[in-house]
């Protein structure tokens, strides 16, 4: 594997481990400051809100000035955010730390753009995005585990470690990561309105269905995941250790699909245009199985969730990267991150309200979102097939 790819993969791994550390530790750390549960969830949302505004802008900047400088600044800002959070003496400083980290949340987008730049063809691009997706899964498994171990020192200690890892990542990128984006967009004036890329996405008739499919996927994903621990505790009586084991098992399924199975099975036997509706259907079935409250069917749903989300995430990302303007790949991938961030703000609020009425309602809502995504994916597949037939006739 090329040196550049290894560095990018490590960049993503450190980022995700840092985010994973937050999950088990942040509520305990923040409550030491006298914060309520609402303040804790709002703190999660503040990060997502900041990343919603920053991701498309950072992606567009990387198209203009290059991937390397934006990634280095982004990594350094992430380190500063963790250090502020770890050394906070008040709740406003805690929010400041999460906001700083959110404003640097273009790391993942720029890392994806790096891999797209390095890819020689469509298959290599999809496989590379699969590797980075698998790295995300591995980091998400290691992060909570590492956070739990490090918290034995103190609740602030894991965040100091996350900041140190991000700082080390910055130094590594500065000395060893070359620039890959040579054909830059310099003629069009840069628009600092963070909503401008989203408006252009809405007006992009070619990619608009893909963006909408991603919106439905992420809404379903965040809606179901945000109440997952509450659901398994309420329905099956699982404690935090069992819940963590379930997250780890899903992470293993994600990693297997995005490394071994993606290239050797899914891309070998299915076209990407077929995989998208197939995975929407897989996820829909998984959400409906959860609503039965059957333990056996619930375990099956975990396998379906892990498989569906791992493949669908890669396929949609690859399609956007492959269909976008070569000079604006960073911006288009940033749009995906912005949509995801918006869902991470709205999704938990909706999910929590539904859960108060009935513990299965979030999963019915997730199935509804996924069904819409399935219909859009099937419609788009029919259009692509019709266009191919017209070309063949000509």
Task: Report yes or no: 162 and 143 within 8 Å, Cβ to Cβ.
Answer: no
3-class SS of residue 178: coil
Q: How many CA atoms lie within 13 A of 110 on its CB side?
A: 33
**Which tens digits make up the pLDDT trace of 296-330?**
999 999 999 999 998 999 889 888 877 777 767 76
The tokens describing 333, both together, are 């991938």
Q: What is the reported pLDDT for 42?
A: 74
Q: How many CA atoms lie within 13 A of 234 on its CB side?
A: 13
Cβ–Cβ contacts within 10 Å for residue 350, how many? 17
DSSP 248-278: HHHHHHHHHIIIIIIIIIIHHHS-HHHHHHH
Q: What is the reported pLDDT for 394?
A: 56
Q: Could you give the dihedral angle defined by the CA atoms of residues 179, 182, 186 and 190, in that order, rounded to the nearest 10 degrees?
A: -40
**Of 165 and 48, the one with more pLDDT:** 165
**Which tens digits make up the pLDDT trace of 43-79?**
777 887 887 777 767 777 777 777 788 888 888 998 9
Break the chain into its structural domains and give their ranges: 1-177, 205-394
Q: What is the mean pLDDT of residues 289-296?
A: 96
Q: How many CA atoms lie within 13 A of 356 on its CB side?
A: 5
Q: Which of the 8 DSSP states describes residue 326?
A: G
pLDDT value at 361 more than 80: yes
Nearest to 11 by CA among 51, 97, 70: 70
**Which tens digits make up the pLDDT trace of 198-253?**
677 778 878 888 999 999 999 999 888 877 777 888 899 887 667 767 877 887 88
Question: What is 205-394's CATH superfamily?
Answer: MFS general substrate transporter like domains (1.20.1250.20)
Q: What is the reported pLDDT for 369?
A: 97
Nearest to 151 by CA among 27, 12, 251: 27
**Which tens digits make up the pLDDT trace of 251-269?**
788 878 877 888 889 888 8
3-class SS of residue 121: coil
* Distance from C-alpha of 335 to C-alpha of 333, rounded to nearest angstrom: 5
* Distance from C-alpha of 329 to C-alpha of 67, rounded to nearest angstrom: 11
pTM score = 0.71
Task: Report yes or no: 64 and 185 within 8 Å, Cβ to Cβ.
Answer: yes
For domain 1-177, give the fold.
Growth Hormone; Chain: A; (1.20.1250)
Q: How many CA atoms lie within 13 A of 291 on its CB side?
A: 18
Within this chain, domains 1-177 and 205-394 share the same CATH topology: yes
Nearest to 260 by CA among 103, 94, 104, 137: 137
Task: Report yes or no: 163 and 88 within 8 Å, Cβ to Cβ.
Answer: no
3-class SS of residue 190: coil
Q: What angle do CA 141, 165, 91 make, to 5 degrees?
A: 85
């Amino acid at each position: 594997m090329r040196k550049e790819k290894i560095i990018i993969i490590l960049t993503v791994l450190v980022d995700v481990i840092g985010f994973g550390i937050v999950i088990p530790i942040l509520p305990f750390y923040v409550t030491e400051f006298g914060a309520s549960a609402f303040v804790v969830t709002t703190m999660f949302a503040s990060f997502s809100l900041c990343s919603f505004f920053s991701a498309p802008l950072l992606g567009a900047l990387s198209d203009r000035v290059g991937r390397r400088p934006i990634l280095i600044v982004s990594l350094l800002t992430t380190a500063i955010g963790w250090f502020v959070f770890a050394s906070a003496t008040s709740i406003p400083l805690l929010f400041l730390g999460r906001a700083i980290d959110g404003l640097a949340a273009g790391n993942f987008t720029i890392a994806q753009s790096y891999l797209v730049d390095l890819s020689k063809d469509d298959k290599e691009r999809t496989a590379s995005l699969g590797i980075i997706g698998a790295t995300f899964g591995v980091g998400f498994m290691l992060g909570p585990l590492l956070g739990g171990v490090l918290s034995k020192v103190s609740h602030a200690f894991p965040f100091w470690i996350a900041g140190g890892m991000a700082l080390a990542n910055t130094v590594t990128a500065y000395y060893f990561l070359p620039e890959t984006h040579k054909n830059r967009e310099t003629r069009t004036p840069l628009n600092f309105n963070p909503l401008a890329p989203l408006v252009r996405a809405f007006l992009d008739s070619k990619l608009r269905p893909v963006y909408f499919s991603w919106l439905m996927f992420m809404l379903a994903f965040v809606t179901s995941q945000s109440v997952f621990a509450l659901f398994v505790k309420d329905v099956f009586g699982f404690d935090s250790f069992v819940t963590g084991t379930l997250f780890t098992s899903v992470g293993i399924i994600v990693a297997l699909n995005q490394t071994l199975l993606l290239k050797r099975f899914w891309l070998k036997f299915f076209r990407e245009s077929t995989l998208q509706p197939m995975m929407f259907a897989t996820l829909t079935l998984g959400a409906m199985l959860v609503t039965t409250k059957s333990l056996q069917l619930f375990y099956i749903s975990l396998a379906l969730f892990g498989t569906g989300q791992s493949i669908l995430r890669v396929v949609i990302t690859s399609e956007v990267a492959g269909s976008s303007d070569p000079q604006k790949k960073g911006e288009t991938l940033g749009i995906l991150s912005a949509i995801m961030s918006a869902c991470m703000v709205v999704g938990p609020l909706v999910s929590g309200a539904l859960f108060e009425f009935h513990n299965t309602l979030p999963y019915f809502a997730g199935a509804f979102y996924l069904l819409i995504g399935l219909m859009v994916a099937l419609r788009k597949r029919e259009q692509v097939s019709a266009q191919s037939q017209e070309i063949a006739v000509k």
